[in-house]
A and B are shown apart, each in its own frame.
Chain A
């Protein structure tokens, strides 16, 4: 990390903006009625953002491919989540699968 002051300023900007997002939702809800299609759009957009985050953090590292072990672990966790396994099982299965694959020499 090159410049700590700049990084702290970025962190404060992120925290202030995030709190603003969290604060405004409930207040807006009290005052205005959103049409159902707009609420639906916001809801789907949130899931799309999160899915893109899952795909990029599971499969890529920087600008390249992350290797097979991590996405395999995420896939194992995803299958368990789809089958409604408890949260902790999903997390431990993902980490465990990745760790075992790496132990076996899979990148």
Chain B
């Protein structure tokens, strides 16, 4: 029942432009889910694997990384650690967000909190941060979070089923959609000069070390790019 109440409340709270943008973001997630499912199957995973992972992990970047490392012959626990490294950003997300999950009716509180945490992702966080007041932030967060919870596994299952028929996903350029979406999501943050410098430094470190190191490790080393903050502190940070 609380889901039905929440849906009508979301519909009343958000204006149609925001709902349309959220729907578009979910459609993009669905398309990437298609490529994720297809790539997983092409890498030798059974159809149920990306399906289960898309629901249980619900974090695209780490799932691609996990599939990629395991398919390349890497240890699944090393792949999980690499994925966790990528997903560690959800901790600062939770710290940066106001109370968007909400408390809800007492009886459902624990479940609401668990589901509300699970639907935290790049898209739901970005949409929540973009709204003006707390009721709108909360509505946008839940609308996008639940939308992704449907779109991502939905795309993954369909992609996995189609992927076993369509052999060459590369011909459709689907492999370019994942980095493009992540890039689109961090573009607003990159408008800040110091963040952009740190990001470029980190990306350069990751690229330079990728030929020599096991997957996942170059990403860890990329964190050294944050050192730009210390170097630039005197100049740029106090100005904010």
Contacts and interface: CB of A to CB of B under 8 A. Distances in A.
Contacts of A105: none
A1 B183 contact: no
Contact of B222 (A3, A28, A49, A102): A49
Contact of B94 (A2, A26, A45, A51): A26
Interface centre among A14, A23, A73 (most CB of B within 10 A): A14
B139 interface: no
B211 A26 contact: no
Nearest to B35: A95
Interface in B74-123: 75-77, 79-80, 83-97, 99, 101, 113-114, 116-118, 120
Helix, strand, loop or mixed for chain A's interface?
helix
Interface stretch (B7-15, B146-154, B156-164, B198-206): B198-206
Interface centre among B32, B79, B181, B212 (most CB of A within 10 A): B181
A40 B143 CA distance: 27
A95 B172 contact: yes
B83 A14 contact: yes
Contacts of A56: 203, 206-207, 210, 218-219
A7 B45 CA distance: 10
Contacts of B93: 22, 25, 46
B191 to A, nearest CB: 9
Given A22-B94, A47-B186, A58-B176, A52 B88 contact: no
B79 to A, nearest CB: 6
A25 B91 contact: yes
A74 B180 CA distance: 5
Contacts of A1: 43-45, 70-71
Contact of B92 (A45, A59, A63, A95): A45
B87 A9 contact: no
A82 B57 CA distance: 29
Interface in A19-75: 19, 21-30, 34, 39-60, 62-64, 69-70, 73-74
A73 B180 contact: yes
Interface of B: 21, 24-25, 27-28, 31-32, 43-46, 49, 52-53, 56-59, 61-62, 64-66, 70-73, 75-77, 79-80, 83-97, 99, 101, 113-114, 116-118, 120, 170-187, 189-190, 194-195, 198-207, 210-212, 218-219, 222-223, 225-226, 229, 237
